[in-house]
Structure 1
Amino acid sequence: MKKDYNLFLIDLDGTIYRGDETIQTGVDFVHRLKEAHKDYLFLTNNTTRTPEMVVEKLKKHGVETDVNHIYTPSMATASYIINKKHTNDVEVYIIGEFGLKNELLNIAGFKLNEITPEYVVVGMDQDLTYKKVRTATRAIRNGSTFIGTNADLNLPLGHELIPGNGSQCAMIAAATGQQPLYIGKPESIIVDYALKKIHHSKDETIIVGDNYNTDIRAGFNSGVDQMLTLTGVTTRADIEGKRQPTITVDNLSEFKFN
């Protein structure tokens, strides 16, 4: 008998859309999920957008939702730091774009410090400069904790793979001799905080995504079931001889709710 899941942690790029292209089977899956009265959270590794911006992008692809159903590594990073410090009186240096800076500085209330921050947080930054890398490197060498929002080495952009945050972090790691603590998928940290946010247990949850190395491994690492949809980066050939997901589908129209 198929397991009856109550919470679906759903990836975005490669699952609901592919850049500007809508993946209709993914959109229909969300509609069917709502009709079945199942709970869901869009679990993305993207830190460049705020939850509000993610909601707007989803709307353009035919998915109506709200910020309560969005969870990002920016949000998980803020929660992780506050949990460690037991306060939001924290000084940080940030490499990243608006989504990450807004979450840490405006919502979490952290303070920006380029000289002696407690944490250096590195997220995707398409305007990365040598000066930013140098500032981060100096702080980490002087004792700041090095956090990477996610470890994606590459990101799909149309038919091109562009450098991702993991590549940025690798440069800083090489310069400092310090490896970052990663927060986003495939780490269990983001999954654990997502479950706390939405108040569900692991045994009633399944992670849905197109990327074996991030989405599916996040399930392995956190003890949550996984569903791989072959509408994005991972193919069946890619997972031959590897640990298999709980469920693999060509597209999400194949999954039927109990």
Structure 2
Amino acid sequence: MKYEGYLIDLDGTMYSGNTVIDGAIDFIDRLNQNGIPYVFLTNNATKTQWEAAQKLIDMGFDIHPETLYTSAMATAAYLETEQPGARVHVIGSESLKSTLADSGFTLADSDVDYVVMGLDTAINYEKLSLGARLIAGGAKFISTNPDRKFPTEAGLVPGNGALVSVLVNTTDVEPVTIGKPQGIILEAAVSTLGLPKDRVLLVGDNYDTDIRTGLDNGVDTLHVNTGVTSGEAVKKQARQPEYMIDHLKEWSVE
């Protein structure tokens, strides 16, 4: 089946750490050559839209910043519908903080409406303790994404979901999760393509996030065996992606 638009994961699909995955640039070039629209749909909330795009450009991808849709952007959009101008405490990168601040939210450490948690590579006990106290005091809890791990050149490392579990275990409060596999981020990304779901293909390497996003929300999926979930592990799942390949160079967009 020929798809008219693509949703494409980044970590483990386009690159691993700072290394381009074999066939990824060629895949994007073929989409460009055929005039097929795409959106990079990433659970990575550590970068702004421009920063995420610049990483791809620096790696040799011929893309535009507007093709990036991050879980940080989806979090800001969600908060705008729930409580515009809310006071928010952020555990995460400076880029996540700037994304929320630029969307009109007040960043604060007390009397907050929400605690938003994204991957923080400088996480420490003090940050976790403050977050737990704010949630226990009544702040609503939001996780930008549930990824428990992600691939780097050195191997798999802890993701945001692994760190969020500390606050969940401490507070007994489950967060509203924005990123894949939730429909919140999918619906926002599909709307940017302007296509019905049955004409869109979601491409990713992580069964628990990428593939489940499509399975749970009515979008066909292509699992590529270059990242988190091996092909053998995918085959053991009760629900299967529509397609599975070892490398993106195996996939025809025509």
Quick check: TM above 0.5?
yes
Paired residue type of 2:36: K
Per the normalisation by structure 2, the TM-score is: 0.95
- Hey, what does 1:81 align to over in structure 2? 79
Tell me, what secondary structure is at the counterpart of 2:191? Answer: helix
Matched, 1:250 2:246: yes
Q: Distance in 1 between matches of 2:172 and 2:244?
A: 39
Tell me, what secondary structure is at the counterpart of 1:43? Answer: strand
Q: Distance in 2 between matches of 1:19 and 1:188?
A: 26
Offset of residue 161 of structure 1: 2.1
Tell me, what secondary structure is at the counterpart of 1:24? Answer: coil
- Hey, what does 2:112 align to over in structure 1? 117
Matched, 1:201 2:196: yes
- Hey, what does 2:13 align to over in structure 1? 15
Contact 2:112 2:139 in 1 (8 A): yes
- Hey, what does 2:103 align to over in structure 1? 108
Matched, 1:92 2:92: no
Percent of aligned positions that are identical: 38
Q: Matches of residues 145-164 of structure 1 in structure 2 within 5 Å?
A: 145-164=140-159
Output one character per residue of 1:9-48: Cα deviation in whole Å (capped at 9) or x when no partner.
Answer: 1111211111122123111010001111100011111111
| CA shift in 2, pair 1:227/1:192, >3 Å | same
In structure 2, the gaps of 5 or more residues are: none
Contact 2:12 2:150 in 1 (8 A): no
Q: Distance in 2 between matches of 1:68 and 1:149?
A: 20
Count of matched residue pairs: 253
Tell me, what secondary structure is at the counterpart of 2:244? Answer: strand
Aligned Cα root-mean-square deviation (Å): 1.3
Q: Distance in 2 between matches of 1:147 and 1:255?
A: 36
Answer with 196-205 or 137-146: which moved more.
Answer: 196-205
Offset of residue 112 of structure 1: 1.3
Offset of residue 157 of structure 1: 2.3
Contact 2:179 2:185 in 1 (8 A): yes
Tell me, what secondary structure is at the counterpart of 2:186? Answer: helix
- Hey, what does 2:210 align to over in structure 1? 215
Offset of residue 118 of structure 1: 0.9
Per the normalisation by structure 1, the TM-score is: 0.94
In structure 1, the gaps of 5 or more residues are: none
Contact 1:228 1:245 in 2 (8 A): yes
Output one character per residue of 1:165-214: Cα deviation in whole Å (capped at 9) or x when no partner.
Answer: 11111001111110111111111111011123333321111110111111
- Hey, what does 1:226 align to over in structure 2? 221
Contact 1:47 1:124 in 2 (8 A): yes
Paired residue type of 1:92: V
Q: Matches of residues 33-44 of structure 1 in structure 2 within 5 Å?
A: 33-44=31-42
Paired residue type of 2:207: Y
Offset of residue 82 of structure 1: 0.8
